[in-house]
Amino acid sequence: MVSPTPSAQVPLVDYLRIGARPYLRAHECTSCGARFFDRRVACASCGKQEFRNARVKNSGHVKAFSIVHRAAPGIPAPYVSAVVETIDGTTVRSNIVNCDATPEAVSLGMSVKLTTYPIGTDDDGTEAIAFGYEPS
């Protein structure tokens, strides 16, 4: 389902690593183990400044969700927004995809796994790849 030319693809966010086996890369504090997805100056938990790259596990469960009907411009609605806790205890904000956007189709505690999908192509022909979680 993803286009065959990796050079013409770019991840939606830099913490999504695309390729044969996509995963999320976190900045992990070497001192306390806290994980962050954004560019860091220092650790919000302990204040230390040393980080290593950590590979977040792809499986998890739905900790919270909402069916969003009133969406940002250009975003197809309704969609399922969720907070997912991975099996290694990392919290990720994402959409639930490949799943009906109804309260009946999604449940709290539901098992999910990471997947990727294209969200559009720019004027140079580069395709942006987003991640989501699908029922597993």
Partner 1 sequence: MAAKKSPKPNIADDSIWVLGTHMTRFGRYPDKDSVDLASTSAIAALQDGGVTIHDMDVLAAGCLLGQGGMAQRIQKQIGQTGIPAYNVTNACATGATAIRTVFLHISAGEADMGIAVGVEQMGKMGLLGGAGSKKEKKVFEPGGRYGAVTGIDGYLGTEGMPGVFAQAGMEYAHDHSGVDFEQFARVAYKNHLHSTLNPLAQYRKDFSMEEIMGAPTMSYPNTLLMCCPTGDGAAAAVLVSGERLKSMPRRVQKRAVKISASVLTSDPYTEASQVQPDVNTLTRNAAAQAYEKAGVAPEDLDLVELHDCFATAELIHYDNLGLCERGGAGDFIDSGAPFRDGRTPVNVSGGLISKGHPIGATGVANIFEVTTHLRGEAGDRQINGAKVGLAHVIGLGSACGIHILEKAA
| Per CB under 8 A, 24 contacts partner 1 | no
Q: Where along the sequence are the contacts to Zn ion (CB under 5 A)?
A: 29, 31-32, 34, 43, 45-46, 48
| Per CB under 8 A, 135 contacts partner 1 | no
93: three-class secondary structure by DSSP: strand
Strand partners, 25: 55
| Per CB under 8 A, 34 contacts partner 1 | yes
Q: Which of 3, 6, 14, 136 binds partner 1 (CB under 8 A)?
A: 14
Provide the residue type at 67 as one letter: I
Least distance between partner 1 and beta carbon 29 (Å): 11
- The conformation of residue 57, written as its DSSP 8-state character, comes to P
Binding to partner 1 by CB under 8 A, coded x per residue (else -) over 56-95, reads ------xxxxxxxxxxxxxx-xxx-xxx-x---xxxxxxx
Do residues 13 and 24 touch, judged by C-beta distance below 8 A?
Answer: no
Torsion (CA) 21, 26, 29, 32 in degrees, nearest 10: -80
